[in-house]
Amino acid sequence: MLSFNDYKNLVDERLLDFLPDTGNYANVLKESMEYSLGIGGKRLRPVLLLASCDAAGGDADRALPYACAVEYIHTYSLIHDDLPAMDDDDMRRGKPSNHKVYGEAMAILAGDGLLNSAAELITAQALDLREDADALYAHSRAAHEILRRSGASGMIAGQTADVMNEDKEASADLVRFIEEHKTADLITAPVRAGLMLAQADESMIDDFTTYAKNLGIAFQIADDILDYEGNEELMGKTLGKDLEQDKCNYVSVHGMQDAKAELHRLSSEAKDAIRKYDNSDFFIELADMLESRNN
Ligand code: GRG
């Protein structure tokens, strides 16, 4: 196993290499996709994919395209979320949002381009696996996992529930739906996909699914808390928007004190699910780091 930063460096070194050529008349599309990928980001999701693959004895090099594809999907979701029709945010990752630099039309296209590039990149991995039925099956499961959890029954469903329920009376159930789908699905997908690529046994996949789901919900609650109490410079985006836009989130429904207690409970549950594994240190330290994060 490597450190978080070493996995992150592997991703950062290759992230732009897997983008398709856009052709002379569409250079600006590539520039705009590269802009949002290149301005930073914690790379939490691709790191989780590589580390999960490693933890189950898989080949992290072979998993790298899948990891980069997950970051493409995550980045597209941020570009679209920042648009005036959605969250309307001028800042992302400490820099002007994509539409502030390239305009709304290009930001929509850059998001579309990143999503499609992710699907191209993932599906291309199958082309080398013709002779190995087990590896091809592992690939198909991982590909389906990433595309399903980022899709209309996953992240997009969560974003829909979020966007359609601004200014409405929120229930605890609705808030959990948003946390699970908008955020936890794209944290669970890379963990499960990494394990699937490594052909881990099903009980390990189940335990790490519990870890990832709890970590993902905790990650969103931490984000809600930071929206009230965080530092704009460290977070790299405008804060206080949840209150301004009357968003339903854990803090608005349960209050700050309960939110902090729930964050701690979820983080503990995540760690307990995977403690018994040899390489659990990496995942336990990550949960601790995310619980006390300030960016
Ligand atoms: C537009 C379909 C669609 C979905 C958007 C990701 C998202 C869904 C909205 C962004 C706003 C938000 C608060 C999402 C919750 C998940 C989250 C906290 C994303 C930010 O992830 P980080 O902190 O970002 O990992 P970096 O920049 O570090 O990669």
The count of other CB atoms within 10 Å of the CB of residue 135 is 17
For ligand 1, residues with CB inside 6 Å are: 41-42, 44, 74, 77-78, 80-81, 93, 155-156, 159, 182-183, 220, 223
Name every residue whose Cβ is closer than 8 Å to that of residue 262 and which is 6 or more positions away in sequence: 218, 221, 250, 254
Residue nearest to atom 24 of ligand 1 (CA): 41
**What one-letter code names the amino acid at 23?**
G
Report how far residue 270's alpha carbon sits from residue 58's, in angstroms, rounded to the nearest whole number. 22
CATH number for the domain that contains residue 76: 1.10.600.10
Does the pLDDT of residue 247 top 90, yes or no? no
Q: What is the mean pLDDT of residues 279-287?
A: 97
The count of other CB atoms within 10 Å of the CB of residue 94 is 15
pLDDT of residue 221: 96
SS3 95: strand
Domains contained in the chain, number: 1
Residue nearest to atom 13 of ligand 1 (CA): 223
Cβ distance 68 to 11 under 8 Å?
yes
pLDDT band at 240; cut points 50, 70, 90: confident
Q: What is the mean pLDDT of residues 60-69?
A: 97
In the chain, pLDDT over 70 holds for what percent of residues? 99
Does the pLDDT of residue 112 top 80, yes or no? yes
Distance 78 CA to ligand 1 centre (A): 5
Across the chain, mean pLDDT equals 95
pLDDT (tens digit per residue) in 145-169 = 999 999 999 999 999 999 999 878 8
User: What percent helix, strand, coil does the chain show, rounded to 5?
Assistant: 75, 0, 25
pLDDT of residue 168: 81
In the chain, pLDDT over 90 holds for what percent of residues? 87
Distance 278 CA to ligand 1 centre (A): 31
Cβ distance 47 to 289 under 8 Å?
no
What number of residues does the chain have? 295
SS3 96: strand
Testing ligand 1's pocket by substitution, the residue of 11, 70, 77 carrying the most ligand atoms inside 8 A of its CB is: 77
Testing ligand 1's pocket by substitution, the residue of 78, 147, 251 carrying the most ligand atoms inside 8 A of its CB is: 78
> Which atom of ligand 1 is nearest the CA belonging to 43?
29
Alpha helices in 94-132 (DSSP H): 98-102, 104-124
pLDDT of residue 262: 97
Distance 77 CA to ligand 1 centre (A): 7
pLDDT (tens digit per residue) in 85-105 = 999 999 998 899 999 999 999
Q: What is the mean pLDDT of residues 194-208?
A: 98
Residue nearest to atom 29 of ligand 1 (CA): 41
Report how far residue 105's alpha carbon sits from residue 110's, in angstroms, rounded to the nearest whole number. 9
Report how far residue 269's alpha carbon sits from residue 8's, in angstroms, rounded to the nearest whole number. 25
pLDDT of residue 226: 93
pLDDT (tens digit per residue) in 224-238 = 999 988 877 877 777
Q: Given CA atoms 211, 48, 281, 54 in this order, what sign does their dihedral have?
A: positive
User: Pairing between strand 91-92 and 95-96?
Assistant: antiparallel
pLDDT of residue 12: 98
pLDDT of residue 295: 76
Does the pLDDT of residue 272 top 80, yes or no? yes
pLDDT band at 66; cut points 50, 70, 90: very high
Report which DSSP code applies to 91. Answer: E
Got the DSSP string for 55-89? HTT--HHHHHHHHHHHHHHHHHHHHHHHSTTTT--
Tokens 């301005």 — which residue? 39
Alpha helices in 125-255 (DSSP H): 133-149, 155-164, 172-178, 185-197, 202-229, 232-235, 241-244, 250-254
pLDDT of residue 294: 80
pLDDT (tens digit per residue) in 3-62 = 999 999 999 999 999 999 999 999 999 999 999 999 989 999 999 999 999 999 999 999
pTM reported for the whole predicted model: 0.96
**What one-letter code names the amino acid at 265?**
R
The residue range of the domain holding 61 is 4-291
pLDDT of residue 79: 98
Q: Which residues pair with 95 in a beta bridge?
A: 92
pLDDT (tens digit per residue) in 174-187 = 999 999 999 999 99
